[in-house]
């Protein structure tokens, strides 16, 4: 579903756009570029959340790793 909206574009930028895109092609171009940018922002948001979660559980993972270290070498020849 598409929705009509109003955006303001700098006149100099619009002149540059018009060299490549006919006036009827501006809407699909804007939609495509916005979609691409929003996907990029969502990816950055996800990466930041994963990084934050990783850092928040760093000490917990270190303790868990220490607990398993004794089990990892259990039964191995010394």
Which of the four pLDDT bands, split at 50, 70 and 90, describes residue 58?
Answer: confident
Angle, in degrees to the nearest 10, between helices 26-56 and 58-72: 60
Count of CA atoms in the C-beta half-sphere (13 A) of 66? 5
Query: CB atoms < 10 A from the CB of 74, how many?
Result: 7
pLDDT digits (tens, 9 = 90+) for 8-41: 999 999 999 999 998 889 999 999 999 999 999 9
Give pTM, 2 decimals. Answer: 0.67
């Amino acid at each position: 579903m598409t929705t009509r909206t109003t955006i303001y574009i700098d006149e100099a930028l619009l002149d540059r756009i018009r060299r490549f895109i006919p006036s009827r092609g501006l809407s699909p171009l804007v939609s495509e570029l916005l979609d691409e940018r929003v996907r990029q922002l969502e990816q950055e948001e996800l990466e930041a959340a994963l990084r934050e979660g990783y850092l928040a559980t760093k000490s917990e993972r270190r303790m868990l790793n220490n607990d398993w270290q004794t089990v990892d070498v259990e039964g191995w020849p010394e």
